[in-house]
Amino acid sequence: MSIAFSDDLAQKVRDGWIPAHIYNDAEVFDTERRRIFGRSWQFLAHASEIPQPGDYVVRRILDDSFVVARGEDGAIRVLFNMCLHRGMQLCRSEMGNASHFRCPYHGWTYKNDGRLVGVPFHAEAYGGDRGLQREEHQMLPAPAVEVFNGLVFASLNPDVEPLLDYLGGAADYLSYYLAPSPGGRQVLGPQRWRAGWNWKIAAENFCGDSYHTPHTHASMLEIDLTPQIRGGQRKAGGTYQAGRGFGATFGIGDGSLETKLAAIGYPEHAVANRARHWPESIKSLIVDNGHLPSSMTLFPNLSFLHLWVTIDDEGTAVPMTTMRLWQPVSESETEVFSWFVVDADATDEFKDLSHRAYLMTFGSSGMFEQDDMENWLSLTRTAKGTMARSLVLNSRMGLLHNNDSLREPLASYKGPGRVMQGFTEHNQRDWLNLWLDCMQADDPATPTTRSEA
């Protein structure tokens, strides 16, 4: 089944009037399954999670389980986690190190690059090569795999566009979050938890909902943990959109890149690395426009966040970055995979402090994240009923009655895409427009890869 949006309704959505039921509707989710998650690039793992040959993690794209494995040749492969014989799940752990994967059912054995190398009783059961040529069989690879800044993406869609085309201008922002130094970043985690809310709410929140910060997270200001979330400073920030990336910024005032980064707790070598390695567009956004990116959602469901936290009574500020995948389980349940992200070449002391800054604010116990989860749960519950089917939500911030923009994009911004000053829901609307484009398009082609030679 597929949900059908009439042209009228689609136009409403594009104008910022959102049917409330899309946040808890089985039919909508069933369509998303094919047209969003079956079409887009999906994040699976970070290269630093599998640093050694033989390392692997097991991850999903919705219901499809994949082994993300580094082979003896150092290459990363994404292999469908199903034995070619009777369909048993091959790797049942979350992670490990193995040269081979052996099926627990009948013992078919694969090398960690996916090739079938062992079949018990090969001669007796199959007549050897006359009945089954092992070298002609390999674990089914994901239809498309690409790596960018350590992020391993796969797609169920064999016709998906090249990753760099898909990212567009978002690539610069991904480099801001993930490539600030020659050593790159390492990730720790993920913390995993699941709860009863719809994945779109989180994706949209990280798109640029700086409007919720002063209210939802008022307690953080009251206990002096993150002074930058004050309404004024949020207002001085804004939002950015570039390619399939959508995010918010903090207003960070005047000053050099070095002064600004030192003020939020980056050690000298981290500042120097950033000055050298960040894209020019990002440095200009920070220095010339006074905007420091604070969050981003890469369409559809991968998000990033960067802020700084007061980690002691002396007022020491320490920055932290997190990356999270909002993995839908159903229309009303989402599993969060949340990683802590830090420069691989940072000192142990900095890693330790930044790690603490992360745990205090985000992740399963994070004081910011706790309150978001609470809100999203209530929203999802309320979207389930009959009344929600006749309610369209007002997501029109930044638009006047005649649909003109309240403010124009920042003319002085030199990077890809668009930066808007202050509170606005331009990004949430544009993210939802992308979603709608996918939902209105035909189902993507079925993957054509087969295990037969």
Partner 1 sequence: MSAMANHAGIDLRAVVDQGRPLSYGDPAHQAASQFLVNEAHLLDGRKFTSWLNLLAPDIEYRIPIRVTAVGSSRTDDILDMEHYAENFYSLRKRVERLGTEHAWAEDPPSRTRRFITNIRTFAAPEDGDVVVESYILLYRSRGDQLSTAVLAGVRTDLLRDVTTEECRLARRLVILDDSVLNTQNLAVFF
Can you give the binding site for partner 1, defined by CB under 8 A? 52, 54-55, 92-98, 188-197, 215-220, 222-223, 225, 311-313, 335, 340, 348-349, 351-352, 355-356, 359-360, 363-365, 367, 369-371, 373-375, 377, 381
Of 240 and 350, nearer to partner 1 (C-beta) is: 350
Of 97 and 259, nearer to partner 1 (C-beta) is: 97
Task: Determine the Cα angle at 293 with ends 309 and 368, to 5°.
Answer: 40
Closest to 152 in 3D by CA, of 62, 64, 71, 49: 49
Least Å from the CB of residue 379 to partner 1 = 12
Check: CB of residue 438 under 8 Å from CB of residue 39.
yes
Of 98 and 436, nearer to partner 1 (C-beta) is: 98
Least Å from the CB of residue 385 to partner 1 = 15
Least Å from the CB of residue 359 to partner 1 = 5
Q: CA 91, CA 67: separation in Å to the nearest integer?
A: 7
Q: CA 308, CA 178: separation in Å to the nearest integer?
A: 16
Q: CA–CA distance from 268 to each of 63, 234, 258, 318 (Å)?
A: 45, 27, 8, 13
Of 25 and 369, nearer to partner 1 (C-beta) is: 369
- Tokens representing 247? 């995010």
Q: How do 76-80 and 64-70 pair as beta strands?
A: antiparallel
Least Å from the CB of residue 339 to partner 1 = 8
Closest to 248 in 3D by CA, of 373, 437, 370, 397: 397
Which residues, other chains included, contact 334 with Cβ-Cβ below 8 Å and sequence gap of 6+? 194, 195, 197, 198, 199, 202, 326, 327, 328
Least Å from the CB of residue 97 to partner 1 = 4
Of 12 and 102, nearer to partner 1 (C-beta) is: 102
SS (HEC) of 9-48: HHHHHHCCEEEHHHHCCHHHHHHHHHHCCCCCCEEEEEHH
Q: CA 27, CA 22: separation in Å to the nearest integer?
A: 9
Least Å from the CB of residue 194 to partner 1 = 6
Least Å from the CB of residue 154 to partner 1 = 21
Of 73 and 313, nearer to partner 1 (C-beta) is: 313
Of 96 and 409, nearer to partner 1 (C-beta) is: 96
Strand partners, 241: 246, 418
